[in-house]
Amino acid sequence: MQITHFSHNLAPFFEQWLDRAGAPAVRIAGADARPESGRIRLRLTVEQSAPAYALRVPVEIVSAGRSEMRAIDVGRTRDVVTLDVDALPDGVRLDPDVRLWRVLDAEQVPPILRQWIIASAPRLVQASAGEDVRSAAAELSRRFFEVPPRSLSRDALKQGGEPALLVGLHADVDAALAHAGLPPRPAALAGRGSAQVWTLDRTPDRPVAVVSVKYADALLARPGPLPHYGGQSWLVFDGRRVLDRGVWPAAGRLVPVEPGR
């Protein structure tokens, strides 16, 4: 009898994962906190798509330069969950390590080169004026993208739209990024190898990837290997040899905690 009762209780849990199509879309819609009985009472409003799943959701609570992980249980399209914490939080983040199978927010999808390789209407921005560099960059883009890109001026980097590939010599690339108001060359890549490739992190409205080289011949070494590293966010090359590579971390949006009433 105990086994039957146990199986009956677990039936809805298995049905939601085995019999439904798709995955739950979960988000923290709001957070507030206030002192209460010598503690801080944190209240989270969590929303998810219908039909709702019964979930145990990891939540990161960030305060004063430190963070802690908690788990909360939700099961409706809108739940309000309260937690007692030691200090007033600055913000909260849902499932930063992506342990829960779910539809990811844009902030939790790291920008990887494949997004540029398969772009339906890619753009090419040439940072350097030298004909040898421009010719090599055009050849690289032809082999990198699945469809031919449109060639545009560096002013196109100031606008949103389809993924853009910025190509050129180091100094010219740095100038183009500054001109467009985009993040500079990552410090972890600067000065390394003969070529550096990276996607701009935290700029989803202006998707830009960069190929930056010491000299034109370094571009000629890139067309073969690059498409094979579509799952990477950044790479460092010495000739055709990969010195280092990686994926940008994407912990997700930090939801600010408002003062409670």
Instruction: Check whether 5 has a pLDDT greater than 50.
Output: no
Instruction: Check whether 3 has a pLDDT greater than 90.
Output: no
**Reported pTM:** 0.69
Phi, psi for 11 (deg, rounded to 5): -55, -50
Instruction: Check whether 101 has a pLDDT greater than 60.
Output: yes
Instruction: Enumerate domains of the chain plus CATH numbers.
Output: 2-103 (2.60.40.1840), 114-246 (3.30.379.10)
Q: What is the pLDDT of residues 53-75, one digit of tens each?
A: 999 999 999 998 789 999 999 99
Which 3 state secondary structure label does DSSP give 78?
Answer: strand
What does R_g of the chain's alpha carbons equal in angstroms?
Answer: 24
Q: What is the pLDDT of residues 243-254, one digit of tens each?
A: 999 999 887 889
Confidence label for 4 from pLDDT (cuts 50, 70 and 90): very low
Would you state the pLDDT for residue 10? 58
Q: Which residue has the tokens 């949006």?
A: 253
125-189-126 Cα angle (round to 5): 10
Would you state the pLDDT for residue 84? 95
Instruction: Check whether 223 has a pLDDT greater than 50.
Output: no
Is 85 within 8 Å of 39 (Cβ atoms)?
yes
Ramachandran category for residue 38: left, alpha or beta (phi over 0 → left; psi -120 to 50 → alpha)? left
Would you state the pLDDT for residue 6? 38
Is 144 within 8 Å of 226 (Cβ atoms)?
yes
Would you state the pLDDT for residue 258? 94
Residue partners of 218: CB distance under 8 A and separation at least 6: 194, 195, 237, 239
Would you state the pLDDT for residue 260? 78
Most confident of 142-146, 191-195, 215-219: 191-195
Would you state the pLDDT for residue 1? 38
Is 245 within 8 Å of 234 (Cβ atoms)?
yes
Question: What is the share, in percent, of the chain residues with pLDDT greater than 90?
Answer: 62
- Separation between Cα atoms, residue 111 and residue 168, nearest integer Å: 21
Residue partners of 11: CB distance under 8 A and separation at least 6: none
Would you state the pLDDT for residue 11? 58
- Separation between Cα atoms, residue 166 and residue 137, nearest integer Å: 9
- Separation between Cα atoms, residue 133 and residue 168, nearest integer Å: 7
Instruction: Among 15-24, 36-45, 119-128, name the one with the lowest average pLDDT.
Output: 15-24
